[in-house]
Amino acid sequence: NISERLQLVASFLPKRAFFADIGSDHAYLPCFVCINDKYAKAIAGEINEGPYQSAKRTVEELKLQEQIEVRKGNGLAVIKETEVSHVVIAGMGGSLISTILAEGKANLKKVERIIAQPNVDADTVRKWFFNNNYHLVDEKIIKEDGRIYEVLVGIRGNAGESPYTKENLDRELLFGPFLLREKTEPFKEKWRSELEKKLLALEQIKKAKILDENKINQFKSEIAAIEEVL
Ligand code: SAM
């Protein structure tokens, strides 16, 4: 069976979805989805030869070639002219996910929903959604094997009321408007550890010979923001 993290990601796909999993590695996610839904169809995209071969192997071993096509290529280039309505990008940093989305924006025209699972820097993905007309409709944060993961779901266009408020936009983009409201244990754990890291970094900067006022103030405001939500 696949990880709880990938199962959570999969839970945001509707039945009979036609989707792409970008950076699929072993193609565990599309295989899991297609085994459980014989009407689902997927493109597994991989940029690197090793993972691309692993993906092909898994799909062949599970005899899922009818449902899953493995394609080699950079990011969303593999869905060009393919009418997938959902895109999954999981298990990478938020900056890489945002770069893949930005570089492949032309191929997102038919994509209704993006499910992103950044391992770090989730705020970068939230900001990309926000600035590119993808409406954040759900977020989750979980802990598995000692690591904390976030899952963000964006729907293209105007999908109802914005989850953000004018007054707290910056804070909500950083922490996540849904996660901020729920403040689950993994959320608190993540930000407690971020706070510790920032306090340590601040101490180091203060100890360093060159005193950078701007940097110190930036750290102080970040620390204050975290302390406020905890
Ligand atoms: N999505 C899987 C998961 O969540 O378990 C695998 C995550 S794995 C850590 C990241 C994968 O993304 C690697 O296999 C890597 O080769 C692939 N990758 C990185 N940059 C990519 C890009 N620009 N386009 C397609 N795949 C990429």
Regarding whether 10 and 46 lie in a shared domain, the answer is yes
CA of 134 to the centre of ligand 1 (A): 22
Q: Count of domains in the chain?
A: 2
Q: What is the pLDDT of residue 83?
A: 87
Using only C-alpha atoms, the chain has a radius of gyration, in whole angstroms, of 19
Q: What is the pLDDT of residue 80?
A: 86
Question: pTM score, two decimals?
Answer: 0.96
Asked if the structure places residue 173 within a domain, the reply is no
CA of 45 to the centre of ligand 1 (A): 8
Nearest atom within ligand 1 for CA of residue 99: 23
Which residues span the domain enclosing 196? 187-229
Regarding whether 129 and 15 lie in a shared domain, the answer is yes
Q: What is the mean pLDDT of each run of 10 residues along the chain (230 residues)?
A: 96 98 98 98 98 98 98 96 94 98 96 97 97 96 97 90 94 97 98 96 82 85 94
Tell me, using a 6 A CB cutoff, whether residue 75 lines ligand 1. Answer: yes
Q: Kindly provide the residue ranges of all beta strands, DSSP E only, lying in the chain, ordered along the sequence.
A: 18-22, 41-46, 68-72, 86-92, 113-118, 134-144, 147-156
Cβ 113 vs Cβ 86: under 8 Å: yes
Regarding whether 106 and 207 lie in a shared domain, the answer is no
Asked if the structure places residue 22 within a domain, the reply is yes
The enclosing H or E element of 31 equals: helix 28-36
Regarding whether 86 and 43 lie in a shared domain, the answer is yes
Regarding whether 204 and 117 lie in a shared domain, the answer is no
Tokens standing for 180? 């901020």
Tell me, using a 6 A CB cutoff, whether residue 118 lines ligand 1. Answer: no
